Amino acid sequence: MREITYLKAINEAVDEEMARDPAVIVMGQDVKKWGAPLGEFKGLFEKYGDRVLDTGISETAMVGAAAGSAATGMRPIVHIMFGEFLGVCMSDIRCALTKTRYMTGGKTKFPATIMTYTGGGRSAAGEHSACPYGLMMATPGLKIVAPATPYDAKGLIKSAIREDNPVQVFYHVGLIFSKVISKIPEEEYTIPIGEADIKREGSDVTVVAIGLMVHRALAAADKLQEKGISIEVVDPRTLAPLDKQTIISSVGKTGKLVIMDEEPKTESASSEIAAIVAEEAFDLLKAPVKRVCAPDTPIPFSPALEKVWMPDEENLIEAVTELMG
């Protein structure tokens, strides 16, 4: 075993897959000299040359070229820098990239990976902080992963690149800048898309948390434990297809559910998870579902305001305590 950071995990995953398969290419803004703005692709251009392509600011062409090259034999990774930038090329993703397979009657596959920074906490203001999980989950044909740890990031990104379908990878800038490390095996490993992970076992309340929120939930879990409340932290890891069974099984054990999601509440990943549990596991619930989300506003710039906007440990502790009544 050895220890790696989140940034290193992304780099190793892409590097290993590029070494393994010459069809894997990287396209994006600033991917050659910078190795992407936060440096996760550093060294790849030097190693793989023409397979790392600077696109300029051109999101619709990037996604179109990803779809066209994927259909004709490549495995493109396209770096759409920030969550809100997905809006620039949304119909390219929602139609050309993800619907076309269906409309070919299954004749054509589109093995493309979109990699995108998400998340607040860095005073990046309204256009560079979003976690558009819910928005992208409403895209049939797209798989979505949002790894919370370096271990998960490496394993899931490798699977995403090998996947024969379009996969959206969301990685949180807070995790890239964090000191979070994972122990990973020396040998190669992958993590299957579509499997949740119980990050902490508990008995009183199930907390489903996504991305950076997993870490906040784990921190809250320690404090709640001191109060004698045991929470189980479930990390979906993959948002589409969602591992409903792991979530429902946990709710079966605790009877109570809080969903912690760094998105405005409306039409977020939390909406879908809450709906699934209400629809498919209502009888297991001993109390109403609670959601700890951001308010339905843009993300504010000022650190003082952003702190209020982002769900944190205290918000979760309050929700769990209330639920325990």
Partner 1 sequence: MDIGKERLLDMYRMMVRIRTFEEQLAKDFADGKIPGFLHLSVGQEANPAGMCANLRADDIITTTHRGHGHVIAKGGNRYSLAPLIAEIYGKKTGLNKGKAGSQHLSDLDVGVLVAEGIQGTALTLAVGAALTAKLKGTDQVAVAFIGDGTLNTGRFHEGMNMASAWKLPLICYVENNLYAESTSIYDSTNLTDLTDRAAAFNVPGVSIDGNDVIAVYEAAAEAVARARKGKGATFIEAKTCRQRGHFEGDPQVYRTREQRDECLKMDPIPRFRTKLIEIGAFTEQEIDRIHQEALTEVAEAVKFALESPEPSPEEVLTDVYA
Q: Does 55 bind partner 1 (CB under 8 A)?
A: yes
- Single residue of 32, 34, 87, 108 touching partner 1 by CB under 8 A: 108
Which residue stretch of 48-56, 177-185, 207-215, 308-316 sits at the interface with partner 1 (rule: CB under 8 A)?
48-56
d(CA 41, CA 50): 14
Q: Which of residues 118-157 bind partner 1 (CB under 8 A)?
A: 140-141, 143
- How many residues touch partner 1 under the rule CB under 8 A: the total is 44
3-state helix, strand, coil in the chain (%, to 5): 45, 20, 35
- For residue 232, give the H/E element and its range: strand 231-235
Q: Does 95 bind partner 1 (CB under 8 A)?
A: yes
Q: Does 50 bind partner 1 (CB under 8 A)?
A: yes
Q: Does 67 bind partner 1 (CB under 8 A)?
A: yes
Which residue stretch of 63-71, 150-158, 201-209, 272-280 sits at the interface with partner 1 (rule: CB under 8 A)?
63-71
Contacts of residues 97-102 at CB distance under 8 Å and 24 or more positions apart, as own/partner, are: 97/63, 97/66, 97/67, 97/70, 97/141, 97/142, 97/166, 98/139, 98/140, 98/141, 98/142, 98/166, 99/140, 99/141, 100/67, 100/71, 101/141, 101/165, 102/140, 102/141
3-state secondary structure of 133: helix
Q: Does 164 bind partner 1 (CB under 8 A)?
A: yes
d(CA 219, CA 58): 40
Contact 12, 4 (CB under 8 A): yes
Contact 159, 238 (CB under 8 A): no
- Single residue of 16, 39, 42, 53 touching partner 1 by CB under 8 A: 53
Q: Is the dihedral of CA 219, 222, 226, 229 positive or negative?
A: positive
128 noted as active-site residue: yes
C-beta of 111: minimal distance to partner 1 in Å?
8
Contact 164, 170 (CB under 8 A): no
Contact 130, 118 (CB under 8 A): yes
Closer residue to partner 1 in complex, CB, 132/141 = 141
C-beta of 244: minimal distance to partner 1 in Å?
16
- Single residue of 4, 10, 44, 71 touching partner 1 by CB under 8 A: 71
Which residue stretch of 54-62, 118-126, 217-225, 279-287 sits at the interface with partner 1 (rule: CB under 8 A)?
54-62
Closer residue to partner 1 in complex, CB, 4/156 = 156
- Single residue of 1, 107, 226, 279 touching partner 1 by CB under 8 A: 107
Max distance between CA atoms of the chain, in angstroms, equals 60
The answer to whether the bond into 241 is cis (omega within 30° of 0) is: yes
Q: Does 74 bind partner 1 (CB under 8 A)?
A: yes
Q: Which two tokens stand for residue 234?
A: 């479930």
Q: Which two tokens stand for residue 223?
A: 């404090």
- Single residue of 32, 60, 124, 190 touching partner 1 by CB under 8 A: 60
Binding mask 285-324 for partner 1 (x = CB under 8 A): ----------------------------------------
Binding mask 14-43 for partner 1 (x = CB under 8 A): -----------x------------------
What are the residues binding partner 1 (CB under 8 A)? 25, 50-51, 53, 55-56, 58-61, 63-74, 76, 91-92, 95-96, 100-111, 140-141, 143, 164-165
Active site residues: 128
